């Protein structure tokens, strides 16, 4: 099972979803994204869960989208992957449930983007963050360019998105990307989820709308543009080289894209 589900609390009001592909550092493949979508959909219909904690199995949150799946996928499949990820993110952002990312180990690329869409991020003090897509000749196409910039500012976004450098939990906290940096992220996530689950649903919904709903309404144009650029990068071959290099455990050789952006 690539996605584990556990119910916590006397009235099943807290649900813990565990991304379970530890052999691939919990990289998010199509099955996992689809599983998350369907599970969240079902939880909404059951109408019991108020808080959902998303975490990763065996010490990592998620090391990004599954590079191996993307590397060989034709353009239509890449568009399908991007569409599926976009749908999942829309679903989380518009859900009446409150989502908490409980982050340990690697939280990279599409995994980090998933956490940026959730309402709250709580990280282990030793977690490692990054949007390293540029190292693969692509970009963070799952809302990462827009959400990172909105939360941490264009100066920090430029530094980390253009270099692909990883950064620590402490740095993530300093940039406002996580609300808490602790040695006990799961316990803290459960504690917070318990508090949230005891609140009034209409109040939670209204507050969520005013935080993430408002933010997204401002970012819509950028999100559309992000998707277009993401898909365009797969047309010119540079992305293929970047992804192939990761698979072959070597440095990529780029053409340097003469004339690009003119
Ligand atoms: N996808 C697929 N497999 C992965 C991924 C991944 N993202 N990350 C790690 N793995 C695999 C490795 O290939 C390796 O497999 P194998 O044993 O078969 O060689 C296994 O997990 C263990 O990994 P490592 O041996 O590399 O472990 P290390 O401890 O040496 O390194 C790292 C861990 C630093 C996490 C390293 O694995 C790494 O750099 N991973 C890739 C990180 C990355 O670039 N993430 C971004 C991916 S692209 C992305 O997320 C785009 C999102 C766009 C949104 C979607 C569409 C809109």
Percent of the chain with pLDDT over 70: 97
The pLDDT, as a whole number, for residue 158 is: 98
Q: Tell me: the pLDDT tens digits for 187-215? A: 999 999 999 999 999 999 999 999 999 99
- Tell me, yes or no, whether 190 lies in a domain: yes
Choose the residue to mutate in 2, 20, 27 for probing ligand 1, maximizing ligand atoms within 8 Å of C-beta. Answer: 27
Question: Does the residue 230 lie in any domain?
Answer: no
Position 45 pLDDT exceeds 80: yes
Residues with CB under 6 A from ligand 1: 24-25, 27, 63-68, 81-82, 85, 106, 108-110, 132-133, 135-136, 140-142, 230
pLDDT at 261: 65
Ranges of H-type helices in 130-184: 144-163, 169-174
Would you say the C-alpha torsion 130, 131, 136, 142 has a positive or negative sign? positive
How crowded is residue 123: how many other Cβ atoms within 10 Å of its Cβ?
29
The ligand 1 atom nearest the CA atom of 86: 57
11 pLDDT more than 90: no
How many angstroms separate the Cα of 240 from the Cα of each of 3, 136, 163, 197? 29, 8, 19, 45
The answer to pTM > 0.85 is yes
Alpha helical stretches, state H, 214-256 = 214-233, 238-247
pLDDT at 258 over 80: no
Give the Å distance between the CA of 244 and the centre of ligand 1.
12
CATH number of the domain that 65 lies in? 3.90.226.10
Q: How far is the CA of 168 from the centre of ligand 1 (A)?
A: 18
Q: For ligand 1, atom 52, name the residue with the nearest CA.
A: 110
Is the residue at 223 inside a domain?
A: no
Find, among 74, 68, 75, 59, the residue nearest to 31 by Cα.
Answer: 68
Residue spans of beta strands (DSSP E) within the chain: 3-8, 14-19, 51-56, 98-103, 106-108, 120-124, 128-130, 167-168, 180-182
pLDDT at position 7 over 80 = yes
- Is residue 240 domain-resident? no
- Residue 236 inside a domain? The answer is no
pLDDT tens-digit series, residues 124-167: 999 999 999 999 999 999 999 999 999 999 999 999 999 999 99
Name the more confident of 156 and 9.
Answer: 156
Q: Flag whether pLDDT at 259 surpasses 60.
A: no
With respect to residue 17, please indicate whether it lies within any of the assigned structural domains. yes
Range of the domain at 179: 3-197
Give percent of the chain above pLDDT 90: 93
CA of 6 from ligand 1 middle (Å) equals: 26
pLDDT digits (tens, 9 = 90+) for 205-241: 999 999 999 999 999 999 999 999 999 999 878 899 9
Q: What is the DSSP letter of 28?
A: B
pLDDT given at position 225: 98
Nearest CA residue ID for atom 31, ligand 1: 25
Is position 159 within any domain? yes
Please indicate, yes or no, if residue 232 is contained in any of the structural domains: no
25 CA to middle of ligand 1, Å? 7
Q: Is the pLDDT of residue 257 over 70?
A: no
181: pLDDT strictly greater than 60? yes
Q: Which residue numbers are catalytic?
A: 113, 133
Q: For the residues 168-186, what does the mean pLDDT come to? A: 98
Query: For 97, phi and psi rounded to 5 degrees?
Result: -80, 155
If one residue of 29, 67, 130, 247 were mutated to test the ligand 1 pocket, choosing by the most ligand atoms within 8 A of its CB, it would be 67
- The domain total for the chain is 1
| Average pLDDT of the segment spanning 8-27 | 93
């Amino acid at each position: 099972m690539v996605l584990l589900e556990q119910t916590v609390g006397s009235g099943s009001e807290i649900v813990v979803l565990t991304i379970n592909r530890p052999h691939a550092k919990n990289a998010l493949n199509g099955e996992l994204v689809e599983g998350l979508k369907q599970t969240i959909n079902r939880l909404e219909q059951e109408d019991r869960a108020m808080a959902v904690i998303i975490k990763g199995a065996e010490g990592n949150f998620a090391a990004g989208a599954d590079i191996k799946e993307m590397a060989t996928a034709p353009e239509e499949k890449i568009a399908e992957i991007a569409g599926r990820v976009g749908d999942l993110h829309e679903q989380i952002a518009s859900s009446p449930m409150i989502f908490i990312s409980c982050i340990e180990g690697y939280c990279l690329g599409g995994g980090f983007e998933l956490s940026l869409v959730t309402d709250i991020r709580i990280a282990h003090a030793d977690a490692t963050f990054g949007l390293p897509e540029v190292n693969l000749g692509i970009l963070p196409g799952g809302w990462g360019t827009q959400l990172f910039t909105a939360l941490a500012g264009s100066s920090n976004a430029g530094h980390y998105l253009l270099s692909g450098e990883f950064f620590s939990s402490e740095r993530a906290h300093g940039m406002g990307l996580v609300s808490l940096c602790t040695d006990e992220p799961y316990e803290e996530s459960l504690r917070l989820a318990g508090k949230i689950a005891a609140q009034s649903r209409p109040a939670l919904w209204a507050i969520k709308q005013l935080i993430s709903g408002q933010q997204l309404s401002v970012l819509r144009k950028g999100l559309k543009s992000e998707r277009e650029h993401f898909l365009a990068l797969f047309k010119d071959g540079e992305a293929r080289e970047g992804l192939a290099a990761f698979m072959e455990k070597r440095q990529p050789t780029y053409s340097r894209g003469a004339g690009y952006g003119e």
